Amino acid sequence: MPFKLDIFPPDRMVVAVARGEITLADLMMLVKELIDSGTLPYRKIIDITSATSALGKEELESIAERLRTAPLQRPRGPLAIVADGNRGELGRLFMSLTSDERPVQVFRSIHEARRWLLANSKIVL
């Protein structure tokens, strides 16, 4: 799987870094890991700067729907997507599909993403 997932329970944060080609199956596996680990309410950084993908709107809609149907005890945490400035369309498309459900923003650097998450998220324990 091209995603490396790091979970930081004390900070209630998840960082997932993608490398290589991202497929629909890879994204579904990432969503499954987030659901199974109980980290959907955590703040999340998804770094896709070193990844490529041929995914389209229909595939991203299926991911967004899977997230919508996941059982939750608490609201989903904010999501910061880090994407290369020239290839950020995947992140922006996902943001447009899910921004009404929780804060989502696309950034060019992981440092900007982390600052935004810390400044703009309320953590529910």
* Residue 16 backbone phi and psi in degrees, to 5: -120, 125
State the pLDDT at residue 125.
47
Averaged pLDDT, 10-39: 89
Structural element, H or E, at residue 19: strand 13-22
* Structural domains of the chain, ranges and CATH numbers in brackets: 3-119 (3.30.750.24)
Answer yes or no: are the C-beta atoms of 87 and 115 closer than 8 Å.
no
| Mean pLDDT, the chain, whole residue set | 81
Q: Which residues pair with 6 in a beta bridge?
A: 15
Of the chain, the end-to-end C-alpha distance in Å amounts to: 30
Q: What percent of the chain has pLDDT over 90?
A: 27
Q: What is the pTM of this model?
A: 0.81
Helix (H) or strand (E) holding 91: helix 89-98
Q: Is the pLDDT of residue 86 over 80?
A: no
